[in-house]
């Protein structure tokens, strides 16, 4: 398959290809033609969310251990988990909103 593009169009194609972090022009053009667009997400807050999620996944285990040892659960521990969940939810909503505005 062959097609022609002006120098300006070719420069724009190369710019979009670079923005999509794609090195192969043929693969980029095929993917764009088949799927209509390429999504390349770079969101630094995802690392923060992953860290928060890791902390939250450790907390229930610590709480379960404490409950098994003492038979009690502390409200502070539950509040910490709920607070972390709300923070992750807020971060994810911001990312989705930014993504929806970009598309």
Q: How far apart are CA 20 and CA 30, in angstroms?
A: 13
Same domain for 54 and 79, yes or no, is: yes
Contact between 28 and 17 under an 8 Å Cβ cutoff? The reply is yes
Domain that holds residue 4: 1-40
Tokens for 9? 């169009």
Query: What pLDDT was estimated at residue 39?
Result: 65
Separation CA 78–CA 94 (nearest Å): 25
User: What pLDDT is stored for residue 6 in this prediction?
Assistant: 95
Is 94 found in the same domain as 52?
Answer: yes
Q: Residue 33: is its pLDDT beyond 80?
A: yes
pLDDT in tens, 36-60: 766 666 667 777 777 777 777 777 7
- Same-domain pairing of 26 and 59: no
């Amino acid at each position: 398959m062959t097609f022609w593009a002006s120098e300006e169009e070719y420069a724009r194609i190369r710019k979009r290809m670079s923005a999509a972090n794609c090195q192969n022009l043929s693969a980029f053009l095929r993917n764009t033609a088949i799927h209509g667009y390429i999504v390349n997400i770079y969101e630094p807050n995802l690392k923060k969310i992953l860290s928060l999620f890791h902390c939250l996944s450790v907390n229930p285990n610590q709480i379960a251990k404490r409950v098994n040892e003492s038979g009690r659960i502390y409200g502070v521990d539950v509040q910490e988990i709920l607070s972390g969940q709300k923070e992750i939810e807020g971060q994810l909503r911001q990312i989705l909103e930014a993504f929806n505005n970009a598309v």
